[in-house]
């Protein structure tokens, strides 16, 4: 079967990580792309698993070597998708990239055959609950992330598919169907 590059975005706390990680665990033919970042690891994050944690100098060097499919700055840190990882992985499997809206639109420009998927929250209140429930950001960081919400959701028309993450199992199945090219938007 043809391998697809699936680009998943949506507001912080909407459940992207949970959906993508569960799908990748369940399907041997799907892998998640590991991005590079200059931010510090959160507790439990492992270099090469959640991200490749780079210094600003290393990140700049890789920009100059044209090593990123796309990259951007968020909250004072750089994040980028390594071209080499995606190219190699696509030979064997479908690849899921979890990136922000601007990064997703850039990735689509670089890889027009990629499929853009937005994960949307059932409501703003529920999104706030999930973001504070996760407990990994300070109140200020949460506000910072919520401030981008309107912009992010306003870009949904540029996406190939929108999945509302209300019931987690349904959302995982929807993404799995998109990987197989047999999802019909409700
Ligand atoms: P993101 O990767 O989009 O920032 P996470 O995957 O970290 O979001 O999810 C944020 C929080 O919301 C986590 O605590 C997660 O367990 C919870 N969550 C994810 N999906 C659902 C869902 N469908 N219903 C309820 N809680 C959810
Ligand atoms: P976090 O610090 O919560 O892991 O991620 C912060 C933001 O960076 C999220 O919006 C996430 O989607 C985005 N991000 C993660 N990896 C990449 C990447 O490779 N490229 C871009 N452009 N954004 C990324």
% of residues, the chain, pLDDT over 90: 75
- Residue 2 has a pLDDT of 81
Edge-to-edge strands, sheet with 161-164:
30-32, 94-98, 5-9, 115-120, 161-164
- The whole-angstrom separation of Cα 48 and Cα 36 is 9
- HSE of 180 in the Cβ direction (CA atoms, 13 Å)? 11
pLDDT of residue 1: 66
Q: Is residue 78 within 8 Å of residue 71, measured between CB atoms?
A: yes
User: What secondary structure letter does DSSP report for 13?
Assistant: T
Sketch out the chain's domains with CATH numbers. Answer: 5-179 (3.40.50.300)
- The answer to whether the CB of 67 falls within 8 A of the CB of 84 is yes
pTM: 0.87
Residue pLDDT, tens place only, 46-84: 999 889 999 999 999 999 999 999 999 988 999 999 998
In the β-sheet with 35-37, what is the strand arrangement from edge to edge? Answer: 51-53, 35-37, 77-82, 68-74
Ligand 2 in contact with 100 (CB < 6 A)? yes
Residue nearest to atom 13 of ligand 1 (CA): 134
Q: What is the pLDDT of residue 138?
A: 87
Pairwise CA distance, residues 31 & 131, whole Å: 25
**3-class DSSP state for residue 80?**
strand
Residue nearest to atom 6 of ligand 2 (CA): 74
**Cβ of residue 80 lying under 6 Å from some atom of ligand 2:** yes
State the Cα–Cα distance between residues 37 and 41, nearest whole angstrom.
9
Q: What is the pLDDT of residues 37-53, one digit of tens each?
A: 999 999 999 999 889 99
For residue 71, the SS3 value is strand
> Per residue in 159-180, pLDDT tens?
999 999 999 999 999 999 999 9
What is the mean predicted confidence (pLDDT) over 19-28?
A: 97
Q: Is 15 in the pocket of ligand 1 (CB under 6 A)?
A: yes
| Smallest-distance ligand from the CA of 67 | 2
pLDDT higher than 80, residue 185: no
Instruction: Give yes or no for residue 186 having a pLDDT over 80.
Output: no
Q: What is the pLDDT of residues 123-137, one digit of tens each?
A: 999 999 998 888 888
What's the CA gap between 35 and 84, in Å, rounded?
Answer: 11
């Amino acid at each position: 079967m043809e391998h697809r590059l699936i680009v998943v975005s949506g507001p912080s706390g909407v459940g992207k990580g949970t959906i993508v990680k569960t799908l990748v665990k369940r399907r041997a033919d799907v892998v998640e792309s590991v991005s590079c970042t200059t931010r510090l690891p959160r507790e439990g994050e492992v270099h090469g698993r959640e991200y490749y944690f780079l210094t600003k100098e290393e990140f700049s060097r890789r920009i100059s070597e044209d090593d990123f499919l796309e990259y951007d700055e968020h909250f004072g840190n750089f994040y980028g998708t390594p071209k080499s990882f995606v190219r190699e992985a696509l030979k064997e499997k479908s690849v899921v990239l979890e990136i922000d809206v601007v990064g997703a639109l850039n990735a689509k420009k670089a890889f027009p055959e990629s499929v853009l998927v937005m994960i949307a929250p059932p409501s703003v209140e529920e999104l706030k609950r999930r973001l504070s429930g996760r407990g990994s950001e300070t109140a200020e960081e949460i506000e910072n992330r919520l401030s981008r919400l309107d912009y992010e959701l306003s870009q949904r028309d540029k996406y190939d598919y929108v999945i509302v993450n209300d019931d987690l199992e349904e959302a995982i199945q929807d993404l799995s169907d998109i990987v197989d090219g047999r999802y019909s938007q409700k």
